Amino acid sequence: MRTNIKSAPDFSGHEFVITREFAAPRELVFKAWTDPKHLAQWWGPKGFTNPVCEWDARPGGKIYDVMRAPNGTDYPMGGEFREIVPPGRLVLMCGALNAGGNFLFEFLHTATFTERNGKTTLTLNSRVIKTTAEANKYIGGFETGMTLSLERLANLVQTNEPLVIERIINAPAERVWQALTTKEEMGRWFFELEEFKAKAGFAFGFAVEHEGFTYVHHCKVMEAVPNQKLAFTWRYEGQAGDSLVTIELFAAGSQTRVKLTHTGLETFPAVPAFARVNFMGGWTCIIGSALGDFVENADREIVIAREFNAPRELVWEAWTHPEHVAHWWGPRGFTTTIEKMDVRPGGLWKHVMHGPDGANYPNQSVFKEVVKPERIVFSHGGGREGGPGAHFVSTWTFDEIEKDKTRVTIRMVFTSAAARDFVVKEFGAIEGGKQTLERLAEHLLQMEAVLK
Residues 196 and 127 in one domain: no
Report the mean per-residue pLDDT for the chain.
91
Contact (Cβ atoms closer than 8 angstroms) between residue 257 and residue 245? no
Do 232 and 100 sit in the same domain of this protein?
no
Per cent of the chain over pLDDT 70 is: 97
Separation between Cα atoms, residue 26 and residue 407, nearest integer Å: 35
**Band of residue 299 on the pLDDT scale cut at 50, 70, 90:** confident
Q: Where are the alpha helices (DSSP H) in 304-428?
A: 312-320, 322-328, 417-427
Name the least confident of 76-85, 335-344, 384-393: 384-393
pLDDT (tens digit per residue) in 233-277: 999 999 998 999 999 999 988 999 999 999 988 888 878 788 877
Domain boundary among 274, 298, 322: 298
For residues 324 and 259, state if they share a domain. no
Rounded mean pLDDT of 399-408? Answer: 90
Mean local confidence (pLDDT), 337-344: 96
Q: Is residue 4 part of a domain?
A: no
Last residue of a domain, one of 298, 324, 351: 298
Residues 313 and 445 both lie in one domain? yes
Give tens-digit pLDDT for 11-61: 788 899 999 998 888 888 999 999 998 899 899 988 899 999 999 999 999
Lowest mean pLDDT among 241-255, 270-284, 348-362, 400-414: 270-284
User: Does residue 303 fall inside a structural domain?
Assistant: no
- Look up residue 222 and give its amino acid: M
Total domains in the fold of the chain: 3
- Other CB atoms within 10 Å distance of the CB of residue 370: 20
Same domain, residue pair 19 and 149: yes
| pLDDT value for 159 | 57
CB-hemisphere CA count at 13 Å for 270? 9
Do 343 and 395 belong together in one domain? yes
Q: Within a domain: residue 133? A: yes
CB of 150 closer than 8 Å to CB of 18? yes
Confidence of residue 2 (pLDDT cuts 50, 70, 90): very low
- Beginning with the edge strand found earlier in the chain, give each strand of the sheet holding 243-252 in spatial order: 163-169, 255-263, 243-252, 229-236, 213-225, 203-210
pLDDT at 281: 82
| Structure confidence at residue 9 (pLDDT) | 59
Are 379 and 368 spatial neighbours (Cβ–Cβ below 8 Å)?
A: yes
Q: Is residue 135 part of a domain?
A: yes
Q: Which of 34-43, 238-247, 279-288, 348-357 has the lowest mean pLDDT?
A: 279-288
Is this structure's pTM higher than 0.95? Answer: no
* 8: confidence class by pLDDT, cuts 50, 70, 90: very low
95 & 143 share domain: yes
Q: Give the per-residue pLDDT at 3.
A: 34
Do residues 285 and 408 both lie within one domain?
A: no
- What is the rounded distance in angstroms from the CA atom of residue 38 to the CA atom of residue 313? 23
* 444 within 8 A of 311, measured Cβ to Cβ: no
The pLDDT tens digits of the residues spanning 423-447 come to 999 899 999 999 999 999 999 999 9
Distance CA 371, CA 75 (A): 19
Residues 172 and 147 in one domain: no
286, 342: one domain: no
Q: Find the mean pLDDT for residues 126-140.
A: 85
Of 108, 140, 157, the residue at which a domain comes to its end is 157
The verdict on residue 264 lying in a domain is yes
**Owning domain of residue 427:** 309-451
**397: in domain:** yes
Cα–Cα distance list, 50 to 36, 114, 369 (Å) = 10, 27, 12
Reported as a single tens digit per residue, the pLDDT across 170-226 is 999 999 999 999 999 998 899 989 999 999 999 999 998 877 788 999 999 999 999
CATH code, 382: 3.30.530.20
277 plus 339 within the same structural domain: no
Domain membership of residue 8 (yes or no) is: no
Q: Are residues 198 and 331 in the same domain?
A: no
In this prediction, residue 124 has a pLDDT band, given cuts at 50, 70 and 90, of very high
Report whether pLDDT(109) > 90: yes
Across 2-11, 275-284, 337-346, the highest mean pLDDT is recorded for 337-346
